[in-house]
Amino acid sequence: MRFIDDSPAARPTPALKAVTAPEVEIAAPDPAALDAHLARSRYGRFTLTDAVRPGWQLDVVPQAGYRHDTFVDSATGSRLPALVAAVSSEQLFDTFLEMLEPLGDTCDVVLESTHEEGIGRREFTREGIERLVLESVLWEFDDLLLNDGCTGIAVMHPELSVEVQLDEHKLLVAYAQARQPFERVLRDRGLRRDDRLRVISQGEHMHTSTGRHARRFEELVARLGAT
């Protein structure tokens, strides 16, 4: 298993306002304590997938919820409303699939990988796939999508500026002028809106991946015919 230390300053999520952890010297944990921290997946009623863990200092405590946000295009200055949601692992995959329904019967897909060190982010695109066919394929790779910290997926409307992401941090992000259909899914799942919500990508955190996950990612790319 490979752990990747991923600071918010190095790799911010586009829709989020990155917050750098305060510069306070914190004693390094002993190996046993660190192993126990990395093994911990449950925080209250919220359960993380295996893909990501908060940093030892726990400056962001994982919790369920969602918030309104805005994506700002750095090149044009245009703004697009967004929702950012943290969903407990037992509901995450089903919630992601439900959020694809407003995209319609046909969508475009982008798969993202950071498995190969020194290469950076790779992207693979499949355009014009039937949503039900896509969902059937994704069910075959649910373990990869939930538990690999180097895999992300974005599903888009082929014509409109509407997009749903399940990113490497296993956050759900929806971009759309009309947020209501996506917000309804989250509310029906019992999530509460909190615009002060801080998510795991905004603090120090670590991603995990394995060679098996890297191979499964390549299989998913081939299965979707993405290039």
pLDDT in tens, 24-60: 444 567 889 888 999 999 999 999 999 999 999 899 9
Percent over 90 (pLDDT), the chain = 80
Task: Specify whether the CB–CB gap between 135 and 65 falls below 8 A.
Answer: no
Q: Using 50, 70 and 90 to split pLDDT, how confident is the model at 17?
A: very low
What does the pLDDT average to over 11-29? 41
pLDDT band (50, 70, 90) for residue 95: very high
Per-residue pLDDT for 12 more than 80?
A: no
Identify whether the C-beta of residue 114 lies closer than 8 Å to the C-beta of residue 171.
no
Query: Measured between alpha carbons, how far is 171 from 146 in angstroms, rounded to an integer?
Result: 10
User: Residues with Cβ < 8 Å from 203, sequence gap 6 or more?
Assistant: 8, 19, 21, 54, 55, 57, 58, 59, 60
pLDDT at 29: 74
Q: In the prediction, which pLDDT does 226 show? A: 98
In whole angstroms, how far apart are CA 192 and each of 68, 81, 130, 178, 224? Answer: 11, 18, 31, 18, 34
Q: What amino acid is encoded at 70 in this protein?
A: T
Range of the domain at 156: 2-224
Tokens of 130: 């039937």
Whether the per-residue pLDDT at 168 is higher than 50: the answer is yes
Mean pLDDT, residues 60-86: 95
pLDDT band at 117 (very low <50, low <70, confident <90, very high): confident
Q: Residue 34 has what pLDDT?
A: 87
* Half-sphere exposure for 21 (CA within 13 Å, toward CB): 21
The one-character DSSP state at 29 is P
Closest CA to 66 of 194, 203, 201: 194
Indicate the pLDDT class of residue 2, thresholds 50, 70 and 90: low
The SS3 assignment for 183 reads helix
pLDDT of residue 8: 42
User: What's the mean pLDDT in 211-217?
Assistant: 96
Whole-prediction pTM value?
Answer: 0.88
Q: Alpha-carbon distance 81 to 179, whole Å? A: 7
21 vs 222: CA distance, rounded Å: 39
Report the number of distinct structural domains present in the chain: 1
